[in-house]
Amino acid sequence: MSGASGTGGLRRHHVKMSRIAIVSAMAQELHGLQQGLSGARCVQRAGREFWTGRLGAHDAVLVLSRIGKVAAATTVTLLLAEFGVERVLFTGVAGGLGPARVGDIVVADTLLQHDMDASPLFPRYEVPLYGLSQFPVDAGLSAALQVAAASALAGLHLEHLADFGIAEPRVRRGLILSGDRFVASAPEAAALQHAFPAALAVEMEGAAVAQVCHDFGVPFAVLRSISDRADDSAHVDFERFIADVASRCTVAILSAFTAT
């Protein structure tokens, strides 16, 4: 054995796992994930509880983001500035657009703030001084999440999905829209779809997470279970879906992701 390969092996053995944050938009998801966290410790900052410990093979921090872009940005900034986090996964539910149906999982490719409008100073939707309207995710992290989502869905028996008219939930990749508005009318959903034909989902935090991670140069991914169609029955479907399906689904996906 050469000296070089011997030291390489030793070094590999001592490589420090990069710390991952799992940020949930919903308490139900967070509680499910917390049950798998070993050596859990809680640190409070800015009214939030940050749970550190080991999740599967990972050194992890779990936290509830709260709702909306500012709350999510504050949460992620704290994770990056104070908790030594090197990768961020954001999970939650979203309203489905285009082909995305209730029960589907959407893993973001890019994220955009649909309520950003500094025109005529900057083009509509562009985040001023970034020269960007769509923020790209980390390709590797998102691909791993997509694989975990597909394998978790295949092994999950979600009897309640039939109540939502879902036979076979699908994992989709694409554009997710974020804004400080719960979209709950068919005309509003149609207007978003018209403005962004490629959009698959609308929610209230993802693009803020993307902007903060972009600022810090930290890889991130966003995973959303579709809870409603962002139409007039969105609020009813949203409550039922979270209680019956979303939390179990996300926990299964993240367990598959953190197992490796």
Residues forming contacts to ligand ADE in the complex (CB under 6 A) are 93-95, 182-184, 202-204, 227-228, 230, 234, 238
CB nearer to ligand ADE: pick between 41 and 235 = 235
Q: Do residues 149 and 107 make contact, with C-beta atoms less than 8 angstroms apart?
A: yes
Tally Cβ neighbours within 10 Å of residue 68: 18
**Active site members:** 29, 228
CB of 65 to ligand ADE, least distance (A): 12
42-65: buried (b, 16+ CB within 10 Å) or exposed (e) per residue?
eeeeeebebbbbebeebbbbbbbb
CB of 25 to ligand ADE, least distance (A): 8
Residue 22, classed as helix, strand or coil, is: strand
CB nearer to ligand ADE: pick between 24 and 258 = 24
Tell me the residue number closest to ligand ADE, measured at CB: 95
CA-closest candidate to residue 219, choices 141, 111, 133, 143? 141
CB nearer to ligand ADE: pick between 94 and 149 = 94
Rounded Cα distance between 129 and 29, Å, is 35
CB nearer to ligand ADE: pick between 36 and 103 = 103
CB nearer to ligand ADE: pick between 50 and 125 = 125
CA-closest candidate to residue 96, choices 225, 187, 188? 225
Rounded Cα distance between 61 and 54, Å, is 8
CB of 241 to ligand ADE, least distance (A): 9
CB of 64 to ligand ADE, least distance (A): 15
CA 200 to chain centre: 14
CB of 189 to ligand ADE, least distance (A): 8
Residues 6+ apart with CB under 8 A from 137: 108, 109, 110, 111, 210, 220, 221, 222
User: Encoding tokens for residue 171?
Assistant: 């994992």
Angle between helices 27-34 and 247-258 (to 10 degrees): 40
CB of 67 to ligand ADE, least distance (A): 9
User: Encoding tokens for residue 236?
Assistant: 């009813």
CB nearer to ligand ADE: pick between 62 and 97 = 97
